[in-house]
Amino acid sequence: MTESAHHPAPLSPVEQRVAALQTLLTERGLVPEGFIEEITRQYESEIGPMNGAKVVARAWVDPGYKQRLQADGTAAIAELGIGGPEGHHMVVVENTAGVHNVIVCTLCSCYPWPVLGLPPAWYKDPPYRARMVREPRALLAEMGCLLPEDVEIRVWDSSAEVRYLVLPPRPRGTESRTEAELAALVTRDSMIGVARL
Amino acid sequence: MSTQLALSDLDLPRRNGELAFDAPWQSTVFALAAAVIEHAFGGDREPFRQQLIAAIAAQPGRPYWESWTAALEALVQALP
């Protein structure tokens, strides 16, 4: 806790609780030197939606890959060197002209970390978790994702094991784009299913 | 569903316009849970997940990372 030496401002109650946890767990030998810094660095710079975007772009340009992705998401994602906690049972759901998929975790905040990173704040908040199941069309519209009435909405509730990734359709007019250029078009929200490309 | 950012946050890394963590204690408690899951539960995330579900259900309006902290406290109390 060298930080506190430089910032004498008192810790808030929750900061005190976290500091107590850190002391206790370090004393028990459960927190190796540098572990917190390394995990933080990974989730702030390496693990994020740019990984999922690579998966989506590969599926767009390689029909064989797309087939493998839909047959066994975890294995196909691992082909690109992507995997880890919260990604051991990945299921990829494809958006089509008639079906729009969206992911949610109704009980807590389950989310496919290896391909999307940590979830955005709104994904973890009660309104999203409750309303995406109860009234997905209305909530999607409020989030700017307007779907025609004849498009079926499928809501996937992340369970203990399964983590979902939405595969959005390749935008029109991108035939000449390279795989890397395509990956740059893919947004996090399109892979959660709260936006279209 | 917007995020208010203080000026002091502007030099922190972010993705899609959102910070992965809003404050250092949040990344610390996130990493502490990862350490406990890895080193005390052999990588099994389910015990922590059950505590997180219970912590969120107990106080649905509580800020997320505070529920995360409560879940980790409960998990640590149950350690042998």
> Which ipTM did the prediction report?
0.86
Q: Taking CA atoms, what residue in B is nearest to A21?
A: B73
Q: Are residues A38 and A58 in the same domain?
A: no
Residues A56 and A142 in one domain: yes
B20 and A43 within 8 Å at the Cβ level: the answer is yes
Q: Tens digits of per-residue pLDDT, A55-96?
A: 999 999 999 999 999 999 999 999 999 999 999 999 999 999
**Domain map (residue ranges) of chain B:** 21-77
Residues A164 and A176 reside in one and the same domain: yes
User: What is the rounded average pLDDT for all residues in chain A?
Assistant: 93
Output the CA–CA distances (angstroms, integers) from residue A45 to A38, A95, A180, A189, in the order listed: 11, 28, 19, 18
**In the numeric block, which tokens belong to residue A42?**
């990974």
* B contacts of A122 (beta carbons < 8 Å): 1
> Min CA distance, A34 vs chain B (Å)?
11
Residue A139 has pLDDT above 50, yes or no: yes
Region of residue A5 (phi > 0: left; psi between -120 and 50: alpha; otherwise: beta)? alpha
Residues A32 and A60 placed together within one structural domain of the fold: no
Q: Which two tokens stand for residue A67?
A: 């087939």
Question: A22 lies in which domain range?
Answer: 12-45
Higher pLDDT, A156 or B20: A156
Contacts of A97 (CB under 8 A, 6+ apart): A151, A169
Q: Are residues A40 and A54 in the same domain?
A: no
* pLDDT, tens digit (0-9, with 9 covering 90-100), for A91-126: 999 999 999 999 999 999 999 999 999 999 999 999
Q: Which residue of A has its CA nearest to B25?
A: A15
Tell me whether residues A30 and B36 touch, CB distance under 8 A. Answer: yes
Among B13, B28, B37, beta carbon nearest to A22: B28
pLDDT band at A6 (very low <50, low <70, confident <90, very high): low
Closest CA to A190 of A133, A151, A140: A140
User: How many structural domains does chain A have?
Assistant: 2
Out of B57, B60, B73, the one facing A21 most closely (by C-beta) is: B73
Cα gap B12→B27, rounded to integer Å: 12
Same domain, A39 and A132: no
Rounded to an integer, the average pLDDT of A21-35 is 96
